[in-house]
Structure formats: structure tokens, C-alpha cells
């Protein structure tokens, strides 16, 4: 096994023992990036100088016997949605080209304080709006398992970089499945924490009541270790929960014996790829063999979740993206002859097609005469969806389902059909509407060697149990230790 194929915790153990230095690990990542980045295109920009300087500082701390955290010295990548002081941050949009943030997002600050070298910013769908990373203004990212296919989105660059062993771990954001769906399509592990568990301060907003930051790694244990660094109250984020985080690794090996795991019948629908359904059903049987009890449950308002999500998310996007006007920061149409033309030309040239589509949908839903019929009604249905989950969790400890209804699809296959693209999030977005935690981990491969993901949904702030359930399956099957041939 090469150095870059180690998990975050495996590398951390070697750093602690002195067998490997952070500088060696960071240089190994940069070498790997040079080898495969031309095929994968996961990065929008590298910070080689900054990463190497952070690695040297980490090695000095280790030598002095004073590491900043258990993951001190482990190189990582960031989705290009996190403000990073002194580093261009574009959210994969031309409207933010040249924007250099004057401060770090809270999660970026926490990573730096923990001593993790940041290798650079990773590709994504523009403003996190998409399910394939084809919405990036700077070109798509390619799935390391099949370079003709998408790695998913919007955190596709993060997922691809982890899968291709360019980084040991990465951060993404999940508004309707943007961590879990790309994790499923790339044989990686992705966690969307409970809304409010991780600070959103300094994260460029798409839909503020849905967005959540989470880790993307190659193993469940790595996800637990990375979440440990991030899960804390932040007074700078008004939605940050005042809830103490447990030790996520303490009960990681506790197994599932005695747990009741729900199987929502609405998550096994017509049109699902048969190989995906077969792999997930086999995973359900594996949990039974490990001592869990499977319980059939119903989430009756699931059929309304997709429409509800796209009304609420686009409405919030319309409001959030109003700030990009060509005046305060980012790109400006310099040939505009007046204020109204400045707004129009800047936004027309700066935003891509999908962002424009969602702004228009959201503005319509919020407009006079339609607010009650669309936005307000969607909020009421959101409450019903949340109540469905609450009722299910009175019977079970967690829920199991597919993450994505299909494996990775070919690039260009769904670009001209937005509704088909939106359906890629049909199993992931309900938990965002309810503010619940969700974990995706590998559970198999198709006959053509495309990864398949299993989703585990839990009660609010019950990430520790999700990680324990995921680890039990990972320990028995080891899909996370398979790597693409690039």
C-alpha cells in the first residue's frame, strides 16, 4: 500500500511514531496530484507553498512532543465554498473570480489550529447547485472509477480527490445530498451532520436552512476523527447548536447487536437501478447477521420531499445570491452604463445556467401572489416530513436506505434534463428538510465496477450511533479499502 492510500488515522499513527513526517506525506500527495490530476481535475487551485509550510510546522510540533491534535500533520483538501484567508475562493463561479477572503471560515480555522496542511480548493457545482459537478464554471471533475462518468455533486471535487488518493480527507457541504451522493458514487465515506452541529460561519450560502458542513474520507473511523475537530458551538453562527459533542471514536467498534434498524418502504422505488437495490438489500441482510433487527417503516410524505426541497432551496438561493451585484465584491461588468444595467450584465455574465434557473424559480416562489401557494405550503409540508421521521424514530434507532438510486452516470447524460438531475437527490434530501444526520458508506460495486452507497439516517445529534452502525458494516466487508486504477 502506497503512502497516499493510508487512511487519515493510519497516517496519524505513523506521524506519531516518527515513521513518516508530515512533510513526506504532503509531498506524496503533491506527487500523486501531479500524476493523476490531469485525468481527475478535482482541484481548482493548489496551495503547495502553504501546505508545505504547515507540514513543516506540524513536524516541529511532533518533534517537540506537542501535537496540536490527533490528526496534526495529515493533509486535507477543501471544497471551494469555504472562505480561506489569502486564498482565492470562487464557489466555482465566475462572479467570484479574484475574490480573496480577508478571514477564514470557522471550520477552516479549526483545521488550521488542529495542524492539518490544506492542499488547496476543490471543484464543485457552482454555488453548490447540482448533482454532478458539471455545473462548475471551470469545467467538470471526472470520477476516478470511470473517467467518462461524474463523481456526483455538488462536492464532487472533494469526493474525487479522496477516492483518487490525492488527499487523505476533505470537507464538503450538503444541502440536499451533496456530501452523501458523491460519496456513494466514488466509494468514499461522507457524513452530513445534524443541522447546527458544525459551524456555517464563513461558508458561502446556498440555502441557509439546509446547508451543513461535513467530512469526506476513505473510512468511517476517519470521518469520526475529522468530525471530532469540527463539532463545536460557534458564537459567530446564529444557527450553531449549543450541544456538547461526544467522543465519536469511543464506541465506534460497539457493533449493532440489539439495535432496531428501520427500512423505509418509500426509499425502494420503481426506477432504481437493480444492482443498487440488490447491493443495499444484501447490506440489510448483513446487518441482520450482525445481530440487528430490521423493521419495516413508512415515511408517507417522502413523495412530496423533492418538490418541497426545490421550492425552499431555490427561494433561499434567490435571497442569498442577491448580494452578488457587481458592487461589493467579485466580478463587475465594467461596460455598464447605469446601475440597473450593472446589476443585469454582472449577474448575466457571472452566473451559470443552473444558478440562473434556481434564482428565477426561487424569486417566483417568493413573489407576491405566489408566496402562500408555493413557499408557505412547502414549509408546512416540511413540517410533515419532519414529523414522519420523528414517528419512525419512536420505533427504530436508525434508518437504512440506498444513497443514490443509480450508480455514477455518464458526463453529459443529464445536463439537458434538469428534472432528471434533481431526482439524483431523491433519497438524500428528506433528511436535510428534517435537519437530521446522514451517513453514506460503500456497500458494493456493480458488474461494471461502479461503487454503490448505503445511507444511514439517524436522530438529531446522534452521529455517534450512525458512525458505529457504519463501522460495523465496514469492518465486515472492507469496501472502503478498494481503490480505482488510474
* Dihedral sign (CA 301, 302, 306, 312): positive
440 catalytically annotated = no
448 catalytically annotated = no
Q: Which of 464, 398, 395 is nearest to 261 (CA)?
A: 398
178 catalytically annotated = yes
Q: Which of 160, 148, 154 is nearest to 186 (CA)?
A: 160
**Sheet bearing 118-122, strands edge to edge:** 43-46, 118-122, 76-79, 169-173, 213-217, 189-192, 438-445, 451-458, 398-402, 260-264, 293-297
Active-site option among 41, 79, 121, 192: 79
Name residues whose C-beta falls within 8 Å of residue 328's C-beta, 6 or more positions apart in sequence: none
CA dihedral 131, 85, 41, 155 (to 10 degrees): -20
Active-site option among 7, 22, 178, 199: 178
Instruction: Report how far apart, in Å, the C-alpha atoms of 126 and of each of 90, 154, 359, 386 are.
Output: 9, 8, 13, 28
Name residues whose C-beta falls within 8 Å of residue 253's C-beta, 6 or more positions apart in sequence: 468, 471, 475
Q: Which of 386, 375, 354 is nearest to 311 (CA)?
A: 375
Name residues whose C-beta falls within 8 Å of residue 437's C-beta, 6 or more positions apart in sequence: 191, 192, 193, 194, 197, 431, 457, 458, 459, 460, 461, 462, 463, 466
Query: Cα(188)–Cα(360) distance, rounded to whole angstroms?
Result: 34
Residues labelled as active-site residues: 79, 154, 178
Amino acid at each position: 500500500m502506497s503512502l497516499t492510500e493510508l487512511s487519515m488515522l493510519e497516517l496519524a499513527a505513523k506521524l506519531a511514531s516518527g515513521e513518516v513526517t508530515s512533510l513526506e506525506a504532503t509531498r506524496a500527495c503533491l506527487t500523486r496530484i501531479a500524476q493523476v490530476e490531469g485525468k481527475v481535475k478535482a482541484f481548482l487551485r493548489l496551495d503547495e507553498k502553504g501546505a508545505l509550510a504547515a507540514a513543516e510546522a506540524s513536524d516541529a510540533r511532533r518533534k517537540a512532543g506537542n501535537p496540536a491534535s490527533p490528526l496534526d500533520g495529515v493533509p486535507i483538501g477543501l471544497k471551494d465554498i469555504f472562505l480561506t484567508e489569502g486564498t482565492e475562493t470562487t464557489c466555482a463561479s465566475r462572479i467570484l473570480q479574484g475574490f480573496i477572503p480577508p478571514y477564514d471560515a470557522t471550520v477552516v480555522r479549526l483545521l488550521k489550529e488542529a495542524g492539518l496542511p490544506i492542499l488547496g480548493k476543490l471543484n464543485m457545482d457552482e454555488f453548490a447547485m447540482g448533482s454532478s459537478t458539471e455545473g462548475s464554471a471551470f469545467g467538470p471533475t471526472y470520477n476516478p472509477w470511470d473517467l467518462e462518468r461524474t463523481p456526483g455533486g455538488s462536492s464532487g471535487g472533494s469526493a474525487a480527490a479522496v477516492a483518487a488518493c490525492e488527499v487523505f480527507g476533505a470537507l464538503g457541504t450538503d444541502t440536499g445530498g451533496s456530501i452523501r451522493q458523491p460519496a456513494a458514487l466514488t466509494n468514499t465515506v461522507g457524513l452530513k451532520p445534524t443541522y447546527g452541529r458544525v459551524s456555517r460561519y464563513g461558508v458561502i450560502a446556498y440555502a441557509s436552512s439546509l446547508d451543513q458542513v461535513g467530512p469526506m474520507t476513505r473510512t468511517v473511523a476517519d470521518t469520526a476523527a475529522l468530525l471530532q475537530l469540527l463539532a463545536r458551538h460557534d458564537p459567530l453562527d446564529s444557527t450553531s447548536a449549543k450541544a456538547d459533542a461526544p467522543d465519536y471514536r469511543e464506541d465506534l467498534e460497539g457493533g449493532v447487536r440489539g439495535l432496531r434498524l428501520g427500512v423505509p418502504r418509500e426509499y425502494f422505488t420503481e426506477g432504481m437501478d437493480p444492482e443498487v437495490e440488490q447491493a443495499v438489500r444484501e447490506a440489510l441482510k448483513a446487518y441482520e447477521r450482525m445481530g440487528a433487527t430490521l423493521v419495516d417503516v413508512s415515511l408517507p410524505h417522502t413523495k412530496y420531499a423533492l418538490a418541497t426541497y426545490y421550492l425552499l432551496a431555490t427561494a433561499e438561493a434567490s435571497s442569498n445570491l442577491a448580494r452578488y451585484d457587481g458592487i461589493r465584491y467579485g466580478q463587475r461588468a465594467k461596460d455598464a452604463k447605469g446601475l440597473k444595467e450593472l446589476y443585469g450584465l454582472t449577474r448575466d455574465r457571472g452566473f451559470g445556467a443552473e444558478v440562473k434557473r434556481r434564482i428565477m424559480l426561487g424569486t417566483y416562489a417568493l413573489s407576491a401572489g405566489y408566496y402562500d401557494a408555493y413557499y408557505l405550503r412547502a414549509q408546512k409540508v416540511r413540517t410533515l416530513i419532519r414529523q414522519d421521521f420523528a414517528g419512525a424514530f419512536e420505533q427504530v434507532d436508525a434508518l437504512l436506505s440506498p444513497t443514490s438510486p443509480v450508480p455514477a452516470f455518464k458526463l453529459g447524460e443529464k445536463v439537458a434534463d434538469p428534472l432528471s438531475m434533481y431526482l439524483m437527490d431523491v433519497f438524500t434530501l428528506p433528511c436535510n428538510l428534517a435537519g437530521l444526520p446522514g451517513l453514506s458508506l460503500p456497500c458494493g460495486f456493480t458488474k461494471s465496477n461502479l461503487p454503490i452507497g448505503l445511507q444511514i439516517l439517524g436522530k438529531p445529534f446522534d452521529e455517534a450511533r450512525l458512525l458505529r452502525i457504519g463501522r460495523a458494516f465496514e469492518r465486515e466487508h472492507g469496501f472502503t479499502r478498494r481503490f480505482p486504477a488510474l
